[in-house]
Amino acid sequence: MRDVVDLRTLPSVVAEFGGLLCTDIRALNKMPGPERGGRDTVRVFWKDRFATPPPKLRSTLLLQHLIAWRLQVAAYDGLDDTTRKAIRRRGAMMPEGRDLGIGAVLRRTWQGRTIEVIVEQDGFRWEDKTYPSLSAIARTATGTRWNGPRFFGLRDEAS
């Protein structure tokens, strides 16, 4: 299993911080991978540290990354003011696919049926209804959860 966080890349302040942050991150790095029951171990670790149920994720590695991030946020009191301001200036994130431009058409054939979506100012139109995201359309059209941009070919399979 790859290291969740390489302690050598963290600022030297972490080494001086010592204690809980380094101990917890080392413990994360030593946990078994999903093939050896690591997911349950990581989920218990989350519940013990944060006193909440862990998110329902299939990826053990992603859950480990989230834990490491939350531990660092707690240790460093979150983001600095400059970073917070930069994020606010950037504004809300636009759903993937909207950058194609109003009027762009996305087509996907699914089980012999053509699904045609038109990018609009306030979302995506399919069958005379506007949806907030491509994922909402893919889920409605197929009856299963899909990553909408991947479903419509905006991302390759490895993304």
The alpha helices in 6-146, defined as continuous H runs, are 12-17, 19-30, 38-50, 60-76, 81-90, 134-142
Residue 11: what pLDDT?
47
DSSP state of 149: H
Say if residue 39's pLDDT is above 60. Answer: yes
Q: Which residue, among 132, 136, 133, 140, has the nearest Cα to 110 in the 3D structure? A: 140
Specify the pTM.
0.49
Measure the CA–CA gap between 2 and 68, rounded to whole angstroms. Answer: 14
Q: Which residue, among 63, 78, 75, has the nearest Cα to 33 in the 3D structure? A: 63
Give the SS3 label for residue 114: strand
Instruction: Give phi and psi for 110, each to the nearest 5.
Output: -130, 115
Highest-scoring range by mean pLDDT, 51-65, 78-92, 119-133: 119-133
How far, rounded to the nearest angstrom, does the alpha carbon of residue 83 sit from its chain's CA centroid? 20
In the predicted model, what is the mean pLDDT of residues 134-142? 95
Highest-scoring range by mean pLDDT, 30-34, 78-82, 132-136: 132-136
Quickly state the pLDDT bin for 41 (edges 50, 70, 90): confident
Digit-coded pLDDT (tens) for 75-123? 777 788 888 888 888 877 777 888 788 999 999 999 999 999 999 998 9
Say if residue 44's pLDDT is above 60. Answer: yes
Say if residue 140's pLDDT is above 60. Answer: yes
For residue 106, give the H/E element and its range: strand 105-110
Q: Which residue, among 51, 24, 57, 26, has the nearest Cα to 39 in the 3D structure? A: 57
Mean of the per-residue pLDDT values of the chain: 80
Spatial contact of 45 and 31, defined as CB atoms under 8 Å apart: yes
Say if residue 3's pLDDT is above 70. Answer: no
Residue 2: what pLDDT?
43
